[in-house]
Amino acid sequence: MSKITDMTDTHNWSGQRLVTADELLFEAPREKHFMTGSEVLKEAVKRCTVDASVSYPITPQSEAAHLIGELWAEGYVGTYFRGENEFGVMSEVAGCAMAGARTITTTSGPGTLRAMENFAQWSGTRIPCQLILMARGINSPLTIQPDNLEVSYMLETGCQIWYAENVQELFDMSIAAFVVAEKPDVHVPIITVVDGFFVSHTREAVMLPADDIALFPYEPYKSPLPPIDSETPPGRFLRDPFVMKSNYISYATHASWQFEIRSAVERSRPYAEHFLDGLVHTTGSEDAEIAFVTCGTASHQAKEAERELMKLGIKSKVIKLRTIRPFPEEELITALEGVKHIFVPEFNVVGWLEKEVKKALYKKTEADIVGGPRVAGGMSMPAEAIIKEVMEKINPGKGA
């Protein structure tokens, strides 16, 4: 096992040379590999000087949690263990991060909901841990096929939420996520989402930097709250015990604290813009009157639909949202200039992204917003379904 005492000014405990996030993400030479999303996550964690990871067996959706365990056995991760269940593991992650560790875990689907209480608690304590959410279905009847409905439940937890489309984005995002979450003026947890199976189990070409370099370690003493390590005086001393005993203190505390957490998420924008090269990515025809607003693998399917529509002489474009919290409202409005029809294809039945888009665009666009098509776990989203939705809207009664 590795020892933190093996860390030097230039190398981490596993002997990797310490580099900046810019060098790791933008400057270091890369080589092509062919990997699944889970394997790529292992490669990302390997390059992140991770102190702690906790895992559990039922709903990690993929073998990613096993692979992080292998990294620990190989000496790349400081401490790693299997917890009892999702609620317990997210609690253990909280403990690890409170004690000053760069901490990561992964979950999906029903396990996310079982652990739900923890996510708001994470943001409330301003820990900068990272959750890789490999989305899958949550409804009965049981499914292990992808759905991203659990993201809807995560939206108001106070955590940052980023969404990766493919294995390359998963690799780059999960590295950048630590860096942004740990910025002293941000310092809130981050949830990096990918669509399970389509990304976690799919082997794709991915460009990776060498594995003998890694991110500089987490510096817990730059946290806005002192780490729980008995090295510094307690950060807060409440004269009154807990806020519920006084309406005035309750108001004062929540008025400052809850808005501060959300402000911290907003303060992540410039960092995310830098490391993600913008909060939205647009492909297709710039002057199109039809736009797809998407995230995750729905973006991939929408791009396929865009190419097929072009063959029919119909111009369209795909606006992929890379961050959901913060929601890239201004970037979306800019990207939608001149658009008359907006489609929001989603992998869930409730249409949470459609609601987000409509809320952001309320009274700011005259375009029609169509929430669809939607598929609900257990299947892919065929480009034909997206094309059909478009044709029925722009060519009513005649279909695709």
Partner 1 sequence: MAIDIYKINPEFRDIMPQEIIDLEEKATWAQNQDKPRGIKELPQSKELLEEHSLCAGCPEAAALRYVLSALPKPEETIIVNSTGCTSLMFPHIALHTVHSLFGNQNAVATGIKRVLDWRFPDTEKDVVVLAGDGATVDIGLDYTLQSFFRQENITTICFDNEVYANTGGQESGATPKGQVFKMAPTGKKFDKVPMWKLATTSGCHYSINMTASAPKAVAKAVREAILVAREIGPTFLNIYTPCILEIGLSANEGLGEMKEQDKDRFESYKYISPEAEEFLAKCKEEGRL
- Interface contacts to partner 1, rule CB under 8 A: 3-5, 51-52, 54, 78-79, 81, 83-85, 87-89, 91-101, 103, 117-118, 121, 125, 228-230, 232-234, 237-242, 245
Tracing tokens 């692979």 back to the chain, one arrives at 67
Three-class SS state of 291: strand
Nearer to partner 1, 88 or 278 (CB): 88
Q: How far apart are CA 256 and CA 225, in angstroms?
A: 15
Of the candidates 294, 265, 271, the residue with the CA atom closest to the CA atom of residue 281: 294
* In the complex, least distance from residue 148 CB atom to partner 1, rounded to whole angstroms: 26
Nearer to partner 1, 114 or 322 (CB): 114
Q: How far apart are CA 207 and CA 34, in angstroms?
A: 9
Eight-state DSSP code of residue 222: G
* In the complex, least distance from residue 72 CB atom to partner 1, rounded to whole angstroms: 11
Q: How far apart are CA 299 and CA 24, in angstroms?
A: 26
The answer to whether residues 344 and 353 touch, using CB atoms and an 8 Å cutoff, is yes
* In the complex, least distance from residue 99 CB atom to partner 1, rounded to whole angstroms: 4
The kind and range of the H/E element at 317 are strand 316-321
Eight-state DSSP code of residue 184: T
Gyration radius (Cα) of the chain, Å: 22
Nearer to partner 1, 122 or 347 (CB): 122
SS3 content of the chain, % helix, strand, coil (to 5): 40, 20, 40
Nearer to partner 1, 63 or 92 (CB): 92
Nearer to partner 1, 210 or 252 (CB): 252
* In the complex, least distance from residue 240 CB atom to partner 1, rounded to whole angstroms: 7
Nearer to partner 1, 79 or 143 (CB): 79
* In the complex, least distance from residue 61 CB atom to partner 1, rounded to whole angstroms: 21
Nearer to partner 1, 65 or 164 (CB): 65
* In the complex, least distance from residue 94 CB atom to partner 1, rounded to whole angstroms: 6
Q: Which two tokens stand for residue 244?
A: 């519920």
User: For helices 116-124 and 247-266, what crossing angle results, to 10°?
Assistant: 90
* In the complex, least distance from residue 43 CB atom to partner 1, rounded to whole angstroms: 23
DSSP string of 21-57, one letter each residue: HHIIIIIS-EEEEEE-HHHHHHHHHHTTT--EEEE-S
* In the complex, least distance from residue 220 CB atom to partner 1, rounded to whole angstroms: 8
* In the complex, least distance from residue 12 CB atom to partner 1, rounded to whole angstroms: 13
Nearer to partner 1, 215 or 335 (CB): 215
The answer to whether residues 346 and 371 touch, using CB atoms and an 8 Å cutoff, is yes
Eight-state DSSP code of residue 344: -
Of the candidates 158, 357, 334, 178, the residue with the CA atom closest to the CA atom of residue 271: 178
Nearer to partner 1, 91 or 316 (CB): 91
* In the complex, least distance from residue 385 CB atom to partner 1, rounded to whole angstroms: 41
The answer to whether residues 24 and 48 touch, using CB atoms and an 8 Å cutoff, is no
Nearer to partner 1, 178 or 271 (CB): 178
Q: How far apart are CA 31 and CA 208, in angstroms?
A: 5
The amino acid at residue 63 is E
Q: How far apart are CA 206 and CA 212, in angstroms?
A: 18
Eight-state DSSP code of residue 93: H
